[in-house]
Amino acid sequence: MPLTTHHPIPDFRLTPRVDKVGVEERAQRFQTRSIKNEAKLQGLKMTLSMIDLTTLEGQDTPGKVRQLCYKAQHLHDALPGLPTVAAVCVYPSMVDVAKKSLGKSGIKVASVATAFPSGQSSQEIKLADTKMAVDAGADEIDMVISRGKMLAGDYNFVFDEIAAIKEACGKARLKVILETGELSTYDTVRRASDIAMYAGADFIKTSTGKIQPAATLPITLVMLQAIRDYHKKTGQMVGMKPAGGISTSKLALHYLIMVKETLGDDWLTNEWFRFGASSLANDVLMQLMKQETGFYQSSDYFSID
């Protein structure tokens, strides 16, 4: 049975239309803001604390996952006093390895599930995939929606599937990946965001990182506005995770400005905002070293994912 919510479920066919020109112009303006040194330093540390270090390849091995977990725990070796990243994100088969490697570090283990990245499987298999990750110790589940059903207008199917996965998560937090690069319009992204939140998502997430375009500022702004409106209606906070294509500190800081101005300071923690990234951490470390020493370190100075 799908999980019931405490709020009336809206008619998703009546989701608010998105002003395409307005969203794109507003997103563009976030990239023109100058950030002073002290605020930049604070923003870089905040960014680091919000990263989900990720390895999601067919060639992943226990050794590669252990190396990523080691990196997650030792970023401060380059510069003492830095926060850790938020999580390490892996396939369900690697959750046990990551859980043991991270130990009591406080870094979460996130796992993709539900036939990631395509989502093309039965609900029975998707639930088994989720249960496998949760049973292995995953703190967070990153599921993919059925984009084919979404594009075909079968919104009840998408809602019910998310609700069923949410129930299977137990205490694990659920991030719902919309795969915005396949949803074609801002209106569809907005509708999918609303469906995910009313179905029980703890986070909504742009992309798997396997489809281009992945995260963009305008797409993320549409999703942030959906979160804002949902919070106004229900009083419930939902997190946001742009993922894929965010590899520079400069771009990450633009995202943080957008979050602050759209949702407010309450969302500026890794409890409510994440970056799905594999290379962003290295760039953030380079920029932090520059802020601290006045010089850039070679990228070779940092471990490669």
Mapped onto helix, strand or coil, the DSSP state of residue 223 is helix
9 belongs to a structural domain: no
Active-site residue among 96, 126, 205, 283?
205
**Residue 45 annotated as catalytic:** no
**Residue 232 annotated as catalytic:** no
168 belongs to a structural domain: yes
142 belongs to a structural domain: yes
Among residues 176, 155, 125, the alpha carbon closest in space to that of 10 is found at 155
Contacts within 8 Å (CB) and 24+ apart, 30-33: 30/217, 30/254, 30/257, 30/258, 30/261, 31/217, 31/254, 33/254, 33/257
Q: Per-residue pLDDT for 70 more than 70?
A: yes
Residue pointed to by tokens 């725990």: 73
15 belongs to a structural domain: no
CATH of residue 207: 3.20.20.70
Q: Which domain holds residue 80?
A: 20-301
Query: Per the structure, how many domains does the chain have?
Result: 1
**Residue 11 annotated as catalytic:** no
13 belongs to a structural domain: no
Residue 226 has a pLDDT of: 98
Among residues 72, 78, 67, the alpha carbon closest in space to that of 49 is found at 72
Is residue 195 packed enough to be buried (19+ CB in 10 Å), middle (13-18) or exposed (0-12)? buried
Active-site residue among 52, 96, 139, 142?
142
Q: What is the DSSP letter of 86?
A: S
| 103, two tokens | 């130990």
Active-site residue among 71, 108, 241, 283?
241
Phi/psi at 235 (5° precision)? 80, 5
Banded pLDDT at 79 (limits 50, 70, 90):
confident
Segment 98-145, tens digit of pLDDT:
999 999 999 999 999 999 999 999 999 999 999 999 999 999 999 999
- Whether 143 and 111 have beta carbons less than 8 Å apart is answered as no
- Whether 244 and 207 have beta carbons less than 8 Å apart is answered as yes
| 251, two tokens | 């771009």
Taking CA atoms, 27 is separated from 30, 156, 196, 252, in Å, by: 5, 31, 23, 13
Q: Is the entire prediction scored with pTM above 0.95?
A: no
User: From the CB of residue 153, how many other CB atoms can be counted at a distance below 10 Å?
Assistant: 13
Residue 295 has a pLDDT of: 67
139 belongs to a structural domain: yes
In the chain, the percentage of residues whose pLDDT exceeds 90 is 84
Segment 145-193, tens digit of pLDDT:
999 999 999 999 999 999 999 999 999 999 999 999 999 999 999 999 9
